[in-house]
Structure 1
Amino acid sequence: MSGKFASTAGYLAAPELALAVNAALTLGRPLLVKGEPGTGKTELARQVAGSLGMELVEWHVKSTTKAAQGLYDYDAVGRLRDGQLGEARVHDVANYIRPGKLWQAFTAPSRVVLLIDEIDKADLEFPNDLLQELDRMEFHVYETGETIRATHRPLVIITSNNEKELPDAFLRRCFFHFIRFPSPEDLAAITRMHFPGIKEALLSAALAQFFEIRETPGLKKKPSTSEVLDCLKLLLAEDLGPEDLKRDAKSNLPRLHGALLKNEQDVQLFEKLAFLARRER
Structure 2
Amino acid sequence: MTGVEQASGPGDWRVYHGTGLVAETPVEVLPTPPPWRQFDGAGVVERPADDSAERDRRIGRLRRQPRVPHPNEVLMVNAALHLGRPLLVTGQPGTGKSSLAYLIAAELGLGPVLTWPVTSRSVLKEAIYHYDAIGRVQAAGAQLPEQADIGDYIRLGPLGTALLPFEKPRVLLIDEFDKSDIDLPNDLLNVFEDGEYEIPELVRLAKRQPEATVLTADRGGTAVVRDGRVRARAFPIVIITSNGEREFPPAFLRRCLRLEMRRPTVEQLGLMVAAQLGETEGVDIRLLIENFVERSERAGGLATDQLLNAVHLAAELATSGAYRTDDEWKDLLAAVWQPLQSTESE
TM-score normalised according to structure 2 size = 0.66
CA, structure 1 residues 80+214, in 2 after alignment: closer, same or farther (shift >3 Å)? same
Which residue in the other structure is 2:197 paired with? 139
Aligned counterpart, 2:157? 100
The alpha carbon displacement at 1:84 in A equals 4.2
CA RMSD of aligned residues (A): 3.3
CA distance in 2, matches of 1:73, 1:127: 20
Query: What is the aligned counterpart of 1:245 among 308, 316, 325?
Result: 325
Matched, 1:71 2:128: yes
Which residue of 2 is the match for residue 161 of structure 1? 243
Pairing partner for 1:187 from 266, 269, 293: 269
The CA deviation string for residues 207-266 of structure 1, in whole angstroms up to 9 with x for no partner, is: 3322332233xx4x632222112211211221289x933556xxx955432221167965
- Structure 1 residues 258 and 108: CA distance shift in structure 2, 3 A: farther
**Corresponding residue for 1:113?**
171
Do the aligned partners of residues 105 and 245 (structure 1) sit closer, same or farther apart at CA in structure 2, a change above 3 Å counting?
A: same
The gaps in structure 2 that reach 5 residues or longer are 6-14, 22-62, 204-227
**Deviation (angstroms), 1:69:** 0.8
Q: Which has the higher mean CA deviation after the structures are superposed, 140-149 or 167-176? A: 140-149
* Aligned counterpart for 2:294 among listed residues 192, 209, 212: 212
Aligned equivalent of 2:308? 229
With over 3 angstroms needed to count, the CA separation of the structure-2 counterparts of 1:211 and 1:92, relative to structure 1, is: closer
Gap change, CA 1:190 and 1:83, over 3 Å in 2: closer
For normalisation by structure 1, the TM-score amounts to: 0.79
Residue 90 of structure 1, CA deviation: 8.9
Matched ranges for 1:19-34 at <5 A: 19-34=75-90
Match of 1:5 among 9, 16, 19: 16
Distance 1:88 1:23 in 2: 50
Deviation readout 1:181-232 (Å, 9 max, x if unpaired): 123343344334445535798233213322332233xx4x632222112211
What letter matches 2:325 in structure 1? L
Q: Distance in 2 between matches of 1:127 and 1:89?
A: 40
Give 1:69's aligned amino acid: E
Letter in 1 for 2:315: L
Cross-structure match for 1:124: 182
- 3-state DSSP of counterpart to 1:152: coil
SS across alignment from 1:98: strand
Question: For residues 52 and 39 of structure 1, do their structure 2 counterparts lie closer, same or farther at Cα, with a shift above 3 Å needed?
Answer: same
CA distance in 2, matches of 1:189, 1:19: 21
Distance (Å, rounded) in 2 between the aligned partners of 1:70 and 1:39:
25
Matched length: 262
1:263 and 1:51 mapped to 2: Cα distance? 31
C-alpha distance in 2 between matches for 1:40 and 1:234: 21
Matched, 1:52 2:108: yes
- Mapped partners of 1:200, 1:22: distance in 2: 40
Compared CA separation, residues 189 and 88, structure 1 to 2 (3 A): closer
Paired residues for 1:263-278 under 5 Å: none
Determine the C-alpha separation between the residues in 2 that align with 1:265 and 1:126. Answer: 29
Match of 2:231 in 1: 149
The alignment partner of 2:197 has SS state of strand
Q: Residues 98 and 124 of structure 1: is their aligned pair in 2 closer, same or farther, counting only changes over 3 Å?
A: same
Residue number in structure 2 paired with 1:276: none
The alignment partner of 2:287 has SS state of helix
Deviation at 1:116, TM superposition (A): 1.3
With over 3 angstroms needed to count, the CA separation of the structure-2 counterparts of 1:128 and 1:95, relative to structure 1, is same
Match of 2:43 in 1: none
1:16 aligns with 2:84: no
Q: Which runs of 5+ in 1 are unaligned?
A: 274-281
Residue matched to 1:279: none
Question: In the alignment, is residue 258 of structure 1 matched against residue 324 of structure 2?
Answer: no
Q: In the TM superposition, what whole-angstrom CA distance separates every residue of 1:77-114 from its partner, at most 9, and x where no partner exists?
A: 23443454455369865443221212211225332111
CA distance in 2, matches of 1:237, 1:44: 29
Residue 197, structure 1, aligned to residue 246, structure 2: no
Q: Deviations over 1:94-147 (max 9, x none)?
A: 443221212211225332111111112221112211111012111122222222
Give runs of aligned pairs for residues 79-90 of structure 1, distance below 5 A: 79-88=136-145
When residues 168 and 200 of structure 1 are mapped into structure 2, their CA distance, relative to the original with a 3 A threshold, is farther
Distance change (3 Å), C-alpha of 1:85 and 1:237: same
Letter matched to residue 46 of structure 1: Y
CA distance in 2, matches of 1:32, 1:264: 23
